[in-house]
């Protein structure tokens, strides 16, 4: 992991972002103190709809009325009720 200053990031942002896109990770410093990291975003995982349907088919059914009643029992929806 490379450390670069805020000034380096400002002056060479295009080059730095190209490097990040290629997998490089940077620690950004201000006045010599590390303040953050610049890293590539994680790759998204695509899950086909057919796989989601297959997985959901094995889940237990949800009783939505009971689910709502359970939520109401533990969450006070009245902001003025003291």
Model confidence over 6-36: pLDDT tens digits? 999 999 999 999 999 999 999 999 999 999 9
Per-residue b or e along 31-44, where b marks 16 or more CB atoms closer than 10 Å to that residue's CB:
eeeeeeebeeeeee
Q: What tokens appear for 14 in the block?
A: 């295009």
Give the distance from CA 12 to its chain's centroid.
26
pTM here is 0.52
Q: Please, which pLDDT band fits residue 82 given cuts at 50, 70 and 90?
A: low
Is the domain spanning 2-38 CATH 1.25.40? The answer is no
Query: H or E element: which one contains 71?
Result: helix 64-74
Percent of the chain with pLDDT over 90: 78
* CA count, 13 A, side-chain hemisphere, 74: 5
């Amino acid at each position: 992991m490379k450390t670069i200053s805020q000034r380096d990031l400002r002056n060479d942002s295009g080059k730095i972002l190209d490097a990040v896109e290629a997998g490089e990770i940077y620690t950004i410093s201000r006045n010599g103190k590390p303040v953050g990291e610049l890293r590539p975003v994680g790759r998204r995982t695509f899950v086909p709809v057919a796989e989601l349907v297959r997985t959901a088919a094995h889940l237990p059914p949800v009783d939505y009325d009971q689910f709502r009643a359970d939520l109401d029992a533990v969450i006070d929806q009245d902001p003025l009720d003291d």
